[in-house]
A and B are shown apart, each in its own frame.
Chain A
Amino acid sequence: MKNTRWKDQLLNYEIIVPITMIIFVIVFIIDVYDLPKVAKRTPLLVGFITLALLFIQTCISILKDLKDSEKIEKIKISGNLIKNKTLHLLLIMILYGGGMYCFGFFPSTIVMLPITMWVVGEKGVIKIILVSGIFLIMFYVFFIKVFGLEPLGGAFL
């Protein structure tokens, strides 16, 4: 029970997010510390103030969590991760980016659209294909032909 309690207290957005930001600010301060005075003055001033406020906010969050942990939004990493749609979308975003780099915008988008619709919960295959097709055609006509914008071509194509 004790272990679960500690895990619950650590694994909530109110604690993890400010800690992440503290790490970012500390790295930023370290990076600019050896720069000329003019270059480091503003980042150091803003960095130290933000760091101090982050420490205060983290303490407030920990105290609030100790007092009333039911109301704090937990990061749910227990339970059925396979069914977590947010994680699925995160994975799709990363793979889509990689696919776009390797194969280009259109090939990766042709694959991404129906897969994402399916993963997010749409089950009508014909509707998925229809919506994907209409979007791609309209996108090509307006963005590429009318506005003359160039999408990413792939590294392998």
Chain B
Amino acid sequence: MLLELLSTGLSAVFVPINIVMGIIGTFLGLILGALPGIGPPLSVALLLPLIFGMDPVTGTILMIGVFNGSVYGGSISAILINTPGEPGNVATCFDGYPMARQGRAGEAMGASVVSSVLGGLITSAFFIFLLVPIAKLSLKFGPSQMFLIIVLALGTVSRLATGSMLKGIISSGIGILLGLVGYDLMSGTSRFTFGYIYLKGGLDLVVALIGWFAITELLFLVQMKGTTVSPAALKARSVFKGGKEVFKHLRLVGESSLIGSFLGALPGIGVALANLVAYGNAKSSSKHPERFGTGIIEGVIAPESANNAVTGCSLIPTLALGIPGGATLAVILGGLMILGVTPGPRLVNEDPRLIGSIMVSLILVNLILLVIGFGLVSVYQLITRVRTGYLIPVILAICYFGAYITRHYVADIFFMIVLGFLAYGMRKAQYSIPCMVLGFVLAKMLEENFHKSLLISDKGYFIFIEWPSNILIILIGVAVYLLPVFSRGIREMRLKRYSGDAS
């Protein structure tokens, strides 16, 4: 079956329009990702209006290109101006910017491109080999298992939310309630619509995403001053030198990519944690951990391999279960719905052309990234010089256009603004927006599986603690919940050991 999927994918992807979309998506993602404050979720959300009416394969390639490009793009500003494009590039600043200050910005950029591409290719391999078995396994899940998986996904995301876990759960709850606005499919009644026809179909996902990410971000960007820091100089020759240097650290690339792939497959963890865990692992397993932070190439290779390794594996739960693992995946899920695709366990059988295309396009966009990453060296410094004063109104115009174009309701523009204000206040008070997004996206699925579980059960609510499947899911969820605690403990033990050896 895997070979069939790949051959279908190859024939679907390698047509001129799809290759062009892959190039455009990667290029736009790279540019948007390089702008501080414009991370992958916003980059993909801004392009959602473009994919209306597109062929599902074409639209998906565009979204994957943007996702992959923007995850890498954040490293440009991280290295050149010590400002990560998004949380997945925080660790890149630790050694990338010192390298730039030493006149080795090109080396850092070259290492960043090649590490990102290798990480992306490794995760693509995991995606190709693991998606079908996981989708087959998920077909065996009943409504109670799906309900528990959704609850645990929300719980895990809340566990790792900024602010606190309590605020994360509250954000998820608010997101679920917002997701339940509109018609209830089971009873045909309207909820929280107050008779307004615009609300009967519920709040539109694309409008909500643009409001929560783009409008909120603009309200924060306006408080930033225009770029005043001069980016470090880049020399093309040193970029290639940095790229070649990565091949002397292939074991580090492999380890970091494994970390990124594993964490990417878990809901809520994603790039933000992967780059830091990989950096910590590289430092603790290095013969010279004291050099980390002074500008060594391993300090760029590890986080950049890990953060791009998240992309492929994070698509597995999104496509196989219909459960997005984070904010960007929720946006991609929204995009797939616009394209008429319903992610879930049946997708592999119902649309093998799309699945095969995603497998091939994950490899394609990484190869495109390699070419564009090296080819656009001279443009990087220009990207970091874009002033927020020009960026804000441009993004605002795209947002308003995008909000209207989804359903051609003027009211959607109003909802987008209101939701943007809500998210702005929530972020100021340290409530997690990704938790709210996930709650919103999963609300109807959560309710449907909840109702179905109770309908088919003769045990009432006790169906949710049925042995063995549901208990096993709960135990896995608890283990994942405790994973950061374990990994922190292991790191502390290693640090104690190294400081003991040093003394």
Contacts and interface: CB of A to CB of B under 8 A. Distances in A.
Interface of A: 13-14, 16-18, 20-21, 24-25, 27-28, 31-32, 35-36, 38-39, 41-43, 46-47, 49-50, 53-54, 56-57, 60, 73, 85-86, 88-90, 92-94, 96-97, 100-101, 105, 109, 112-113, 116-117, 120-122, 127, 131-132, 135, 139, 143, 147-152
Kindly name the residue among B187, B219, B389 whose own CB sees the greatest number of chain A CB atoms within 10 A.
B389
Given A42-B447, A57-B166, A109-B397, A73 B177 contact: no
A73 B427 CA distance: 11
B472 interface: no
Contact of B222 (A39, A85, A105, A132): A85
B180 A42 contact: yes
Contact of A117 (B53, B187, B390): B390
Nearest to A144: B401
A43 B180 contact: yes
A131 B387 CA distance: 11
A53 B426 CA distance: 15
Interface of B: 49-50, 52-53, 166-167, 169-170, 173-174, 176-177, 180, 184, 186-187, 189, 191-192, 194, 215, 218-219, 222-223, 225-226, 387-390, 392-394, 396-398, 400-401, 404-405, 408, 410, 413-414, 417, 420-422, 425-426, 428-431, 446-447, 450-451
A38 B416 CA distance: 29
B21 to A, nearest CB: 12
A27 B401 CA distance: 31
B202 to A, nearest CB: 13
Given A35-B189, A53-B170, A143-B50, A100 B413 contact: yes
Contacts of B428: 13, 17, 73
Contacts of A54: 170
Contacts of B401: 105, 139, 143, 149, 151
A116 B192 CA distance: 35
Contact of B404 (A16, A35, A60, A152): A152
A90 B167 CA distance: 26
B94 to A, nearest CB: 26
A57 B170 contact: yes
Contacts of B450: 41-42
Nearest to B422: A20
Contacts of B430: 14
A135 to B, nearest CB: 5
Contacts, number: 170
Nearest to B225: A121
Nearest to A45: B450
B460 to A, nearest CB: 13
Nearest to A136: B397
Closest 5 CB pairs of A and B: A50-B173, A116-B393, A122-B389, A13-B429, A17-B429
Contacts of B222: 85-86, 88-89, 120
Kindly name the residue among A50, A54, A113, A121 whose own CB sees the greatest number of chain B CB atoms within 10 A.
A50
Contacts of A92: 396
A47 B177 CA distance: 7
B393 A112 contact: yes
A113 B173 contact: no
Given A17-B426, A109-B397, A113-B397, A148 B53 contact: yes
8 contacts: A16-B429, A39-B184, A89-B218, A100-B413, A105-B401, A131-B394, A139-B398, A149-B401
- Please classify the interface of chain B as helix (H, G, I), strand (E, B), loop, or mixed, using the class held by over half of its residues: helix
A34 B354 CA distance: 44
A141 to B, nearest CB: 13
A25 B194 CA distance: 15
Contacts of B186: 38-39
A19 B226 CA distance: 34
Nearest to A73: B428
Contacts of B173: 25, 46-47, 49-50, 53
A116 B395 CA distance: 11
Contacts of A148: 53
Given A47-B173, A57-B166, A147-B53, 16 more contacts: A21-B170, A24-B174, A39-B191, A42-B447, A42-B451, A46-B180, A56-B166, A97-B414, A97-B417, A113-B393, A113-B397, A120-B389, A122-B389, A139-B398, A143-B50, A149-B52
B77 to A, nearest CB: 20
B424 to A, nearest CB: 9
A90 B184 contact: no
A46 to B, nearest CB: 5
Contact of B396 (A18, A43, A96): A96
A32 B189 CA distance: 10
B410 A31 contact: no
Given A43-B177, A86-B223, A96 B446 contact: no
B296 to A, nearest CB: 36
A131 B397 CA distance: 13
A148 B53 CA distance: 9
A146 B181 CA distance: 35
A149 B401 CA distance: 10
Nearest to A37: B187
A151 B191 contact: no
B356 to A, nearest CB: 26
A47 B396 CA distance: 33
B429 A120 contact: no
Contacts of B215: 93
B184 A116 contact: no
A92 B421 CA distance: 13
Nearest to B49: A149
A121 to B, nearest CB: 5
A54 B429 CA distance: 13
B421 A122 contact: no
Contact of A94 (B417, B429, B446): B417
A86 B50 contact: no
